[in-house]
Amino acid sequence: MPVDTSKRGREVSSAVETSLPTAPPGVVTEPVSASRRALLVGGLVAAGGAAVAASRAQSQETPDPMAGHAMPGGAVDPYSAHDSGMAHGNMTMVGQVDHAGNGFNPTAMLTDWEVGRTEIMPDGRTLRTFEVEAIDMEIEIAPGVFFPAWTFNGRVPGPALRAKEGERLRIVFRNLGSHPHSMHFHGIHSARMDGVQGAGLIDPGEEFVYEFDAKPFGCHLYHCHALPLKRHMHKGMYGLFVVDPDPARHPEFAAVAASRVLGSPENAEWQELAMVMNGFDTNFDGENEVYAVNTVGQAYMNAPIRIDKSRPVRIYLMNATEFDPINSFHLHGNFFDYYDTGSQLTPTLRTVDVIMQCQAQRGILEFSFADHEDGLYMFHAHQAEFTELGWMGFFDVREAGA
């Protein structure tokens, strides 16, 4: 959590103190550029400095009972560490996003797995069919800030597709948007199904069916592979593609594998969360203005994620941030095991509290709050810039039903 360090700045030597912001509002100007007048003024300021110092120093002899606390008139003191009830102080966006207007809610998206529909094929294998549509949509990514997105199924990130290792997958993709689009899956499949030019990249109004086996197991992604790639990616065309391991194929880790199979009894005790780290370049200058996890900046600050402390937590985390090479995840007050790409059943990293992911990198985080006090535990990117531009949230850790 970034903290106001400037408080300390107030307690430096009295010479500096004199020009610190103790005066009530006056009025003034833009910095004048390096013209004759501006520079001249520098000298004048210096010349007058001693006089200012003298007069201010006197005025400060009277102790201020409100120092360091609320400002007179009930105004917020930006330099106080105690002035705001929330952990983020004044470093927050103003207002609330209309989730209903967006048609998707970041809190619901955490557990909203798209499992499609299944049928048994003649050979006994499961055929799982997903239907995905590309739709142009304006979405509110921060309170009052609207972004002209390209979406899969009207949400950003797109639906979190979930299948099981070894299943046959069929994804029916329809392009209802205004530009050519595709679905390029990170998985093992033939070139014909790759979602690039000539392999499922379709024009508006067209339809394509991708078909391949669900492998390897892990935490993967899909995204549009139309050109220009950066524009199609950062406009919102990406989503999680999770393949659960088949316990029968991993007898040495059958229990671990079983806990990752959505809907299994072993899986039921876990709290699983789908998180996609993303950013939005609202003015199209090649830099993101808003960072988030699951699109809406600071969504989980305003609505902390409820965690039942008796149950372990598993996060399927993916980095879909465009323009910035890496993103990261930091958990407060706790450590976790990390399974990079989720394609192994033993952790890649044990007992860490920060992991980083490059673009399109993803993995699984597992941790528990069982022995913790109740409370709000923060999580955020540890690039403070991303944090302060929206990518931060809270886990609200309590007993079940508390």
Partner 1 sequence: MTDQSEHSRPPMTRLLFVLVPLAVMLGAFVWIASLDPLRGFNNGAPPVEALTVERTILDGSGISLSVRAGGSEAMVVAQVAVDDAYWTFTQEPAGPIARGAAVWLRIPYPWVLGEAHHVNLLTNTGATFGHEIGVAVSTPSATWGQLRLQAVIGAIVGLLPVALGLMFFPAMKGVGRSGMNFLLALTVGLLAFLLIDMTAEALELSGDAAAIFQGSAMVWLAALASFLLLMAIGRWRGNPEGLALAFYIALGIGLHNFGEGLAIGGAFAAGSAGLGTFLVLGFALHNVTEGIGIAAPMLRARPTLWIFAALTLLAGGPAVLGMWAGSLAYAPQWSALALAVGAGAILQVMVEVSAYLVRQNPDRQAALISPSVLAGFLGGIAFMYATAALIKI
Q: Is residue 21 near partner 1 by the rule CB under 8 A?
A: yes
Of the residues 104, 113, 130, 147, which one makes contact with partner 1 according to CB under 8 A: 147
Q: Which of 1, 14, 15, 19 binds partner 1 (CB under 8 A)?
A: 19
**Closer residue to partner 1 (CB): 82 or 249:** 82
Which window, 129-137, 143-151, 191-199, 350-358, contacts partner 1 (CB under 8 A)?
143-151
> What residues between 157 and 196 interact with partner 1 by CB under 8 A?
none
Site mask, partner 1, residues 89-108, x = CB under 8 A?
-xxxxxx-------------
Give the alpha-carbon dihedral of 83, 89, 94, 97, to 10 degrees. Answer: -130
Q: How many residues bind partner 1 (CB under 8 A)?
A: 70
Among residues 103, 143, 204, 312, the one that binds partner 1 under rule CB under 8 A: 143
Q: How many of the other CB atoms lie within 10 Å of CB of 315?
A: 24
Task: Report the residue from 13, 26, 122, 402 that binds partner 1 according to the rule CB under 8 A.
Answer: 26
The reply on whether position 297 binds partner 1 by CB under 8 A is yes
Our finding on whether 13 is near partner 1 (CB under 8 A) is no
Of residues 388 and 396, the one with the C-beta less far from partner 1: 388
Applying the rule CB under 8 A, the residues between 32 and 71 that interact with partner 1 are 32-49, 51-52, 55, 71
Of positions 150, 208, 217, 280, contacts partner 1 by CB under 8 A: 280
- Give min distance, CB of 281 to partner 1, in A: 8
* Residue selected from 68, 144, 263, 286 as contacting partner 1 according to rule CB under 8 A: 144
Q: How far apart are CA 39 and CA 382, in angstroms?
A: 40
- Least CB distance to partner 1 at residue 45 (A): 5
Q: Shortest Cβ distance from residue 336 to partner 1 (Å)?
A: 26
**Quick check: 165 and 246 in contact, CB under 8 A?**
yes
The minimum distance between CB 261 and partner 1, in angstroms, equals 40
Tell me the two tokens of residue 190.
Answer: 């033939």
Q: Binding string, 245-274, against partner 1, x = CB under 8 A? A: ------------------------------
Using alpha carbons only, what angle is made at residue 166 by residues 162 and 167, rounded to the nearest 5 degrees?
Answer: 55
The stretch among 153-161, 320-328, 354-362, 383-391 that binds partner 1 (CB under 8 A) is 383-391
Phi, psi (deg, nearest 5) at residue 6 = -70, -15
Nearest residue (CB) to partner 1, 168 versus 380: 380
Out of 1, 14, 15, 22, the residue judged to bind partner 1 by CB under 8 A = 22
Per CB under 8 A, residues contacting partner 1 are: 2, 4-7, 9, 16, 19-49, 51-52, 55, 71, 75-79, 90-95, 142-147, 280, 282-283, 285, 289, 297-298, 385, 388-390
